[in-house]
Amino acid sequence: MQKLNQVSSILSGYTFRDSLDYMEDGPIHVIQPKNLKLISDAPCIDLFQNYEKYLLSDGDILITIKGSANTVTQLTLPDKTKYVCSAAFAVIRPSGLKTCSTFLSWYLQCETAQETLRAMQKGTTVQNLSLKDLQNLPIPSLPLHIQQTIGELANLEQQRISILQDLASKRKTLLDHELMKLVKAGGQNE
């Protein structure tokens, strides 16, 4: 096992001191916990001092460090769009050619890692995960080709789950439509 800081850089999201002044089409998008599922909906802001230091890269992994849920998301960012994240996240950037980001993202989401992360959290009202504790998270030492295989399998499973959820939603819509036809037909027979 290695520590997370041996296979990646761990950075803090940006701490905004004031409320954000959103813009219609600003130069930087801000990822916050509320828009993590659909980052294209992340609001825009104007440039701020030293923003370059906080720019996110494709393949970066975000993990929420404030609150009880340690949500993990691997970023796939659109070209030429600048993103930063708030301080509610830690940014994990796999380093070197020995770490596969899809494997690392999967591992951080698996129950073994999540249990360890929950044990590291501190706080009475709001649970927090410190960057120092996150740096010491044990990560399995595996050859790159095995990491890539695990990452690919995890991505395929995620796609399968997404397809099944979409299918379930469409089935519900179809069933609701057919049941409504029965309701309307039953009302006409009275």
pLDDT tens digit at each of 190 positions of the chain = 899 999 999 998 888 877 766 777 778 888 888 877 777 778 777 777 778 888 898 889 999 888 777 888 888 887 778 888 888 899 999 987 788 899 999 999 999 998 998 888 888 777 788 889 899 999 999 999 999 999 999 989 988 988 999 999 999 999 999 999 888 887 676 6
Token representation of residue 117: 């992360």
* 13 Cβ contact list (under 8 Å, min separation 6): 54, 62, 84, 85, 86, 87, 88, 89, 90, 91
Instruction: Report the side by side order of strands in the sheet with 82-85.
Output: 44-45, 28-31, 82-85
Q: What is the DSSP letter of 58?
A: T
Residue 115 DSSP SS3: helix
66: left (phi over 0), alpha (psi -120 to 50) or beta: beta
Do residues 70 and 83 make contact, with C-beta atoms less than 8 angstroms apart?
no
Q: What angle do CA 138, 76, 129 make, to 5 degrees?
A: 35
* 57 Cβ contact list (under 8 Å, min separation 6): 75, 77, 93
